[in-house]
Amino acid sequence: MLTIDKFEEASEVVKRVTQDTKLIFSDYFSQMTGNKVYFKPENMQRTGAYKLRGAYYKISTLTEEERAKGLITASAGNHAQGVAYAAKAYGAKAVIVMPTTTPLIKVERTKSYGAEVVLYGDVYDDACAHAYELAEEHGYTFIHPFDDPAVATGQGTIAMEIIKELPLVDYILVPIGGGGLATGVSTLAKLLNPNIKVIGVEPAGANCLQVSLDKGEVTTLPTVNTIADGTAVKTPGEHVFPYLQKNLDDVITVEDDELIVSFLDMVENHKMIVENSGLLTVAALKHLNVKGKKVVSVLSGGNMDVITMASVVQLGLIQRDRIFTISVLLPDRPGELTKVSQKIAEQQGNIIKLDHNQFYSTNRNAAVELKITMEAFGTEHKQQIMQELEKDGYRPKLIRTNL
């Protein structure tokens, strides 16, 4: 696997089930970074993620006998749906072991493709171990999410499409969990043009590949902690690791807070929903110390449940100072609340929540506390509102926002 011939074969094979995800040029991020930034929108792919490519190609390489035994995998979401969809296309039985913590929408979507779902364990590692047990017990063929050269070859078809559409691409940014996507993309990119820089991007709280590359061997992290659940992997793939050592030019890590802001940027400027793992390459754009280059960020998926989406939007607005909360002390007299509200309205602040605590002090005539949560246009506007309140003697104090 992982030869030009196999990549070309995979590119033709996956066309049977994939959608054409043309590059999208980003004015917003190009101006922000000083580069020509493009997105490869695999969040718009069938099943909502790139994983369908590797799963379908892997299954295409199996014998009729292997497919007839039934297929099994472990996944918390995207790979599960990719295998389920691909198995259905081949008329094969699929069993997907998912952690019990998997959001209901991902479970139901996987079932909708005809797969049998088994919920087991709290994390991926538990589910994976159980999937291997079931494979041994029933003779199922196991489809690994990332540590399989055939799967990686299927994922690498993304690079084929990028280079065909943008032959002079300088940088490709690719998310990393276990390393299957990065292996395929970096290997093919280097085969086609060794001058292309391929940069892997990991969550700072799950940087298993960065640690492994630094140590020169596959290394398991003791724990992982990130909102990018699709890339929350403790150990990179052993079979794909040598390819990553050879073909990746660098690894960038980003903090979860950066992903939250990137989600808002994508929604507001591109009207696209991208899951946290897919946002890694968006957040990494500002970490690239280059100018005037053609950069492609691979948006690996868009499968985010609505509750998570709502939380990310709220946190993003708070981080951008679009929502903030202040505490002011007022005499307990009629009309004081109206005065403060009027002053905020004059500065075009929009109050969304008030908490009036008359029991802040035993001397209510001296002070009661008013907590005000409001919307602003951003940091500059927030500071303007605070300054105007200061001028009127209110002495506002910023406090934690709880929506």
Catalytic residues: 51, 300
Question: In this structure, what are the phi and psi dihedrals at residue 158, rounded to the nearest 5 degrees?
Answer: -60, -45
In angstroms, rounded to a whole number, what is the distance separating the alpha carbons of residues 319 and 324? 9
Torsion sign across C-alpha atoms 179, 10, 280, 285: positive
| 99, 76 contact by CB (below 8 A) | yes
In angstroms, rounded to a whole number, what is the distance separating the alpha carbons of residues 200 and 209? 9
Distance of CA 107 to CAs 110, 117, 294, 377, Å? 5, 7, 38, 39
Distance of CA 106 to CAs 22, 80, 102, 243, Å? 26, 9, 7, 31
Q: What DSSP character marks residue 135? A: H
Place of tokens 């479970």: 107
Angle formed by the axes of helices 51-60 and 157-165, nearest 10°: 120
Distance of CA 91 to CAs 68, 78, 81, 87, Å? 9, 20, 15, 6
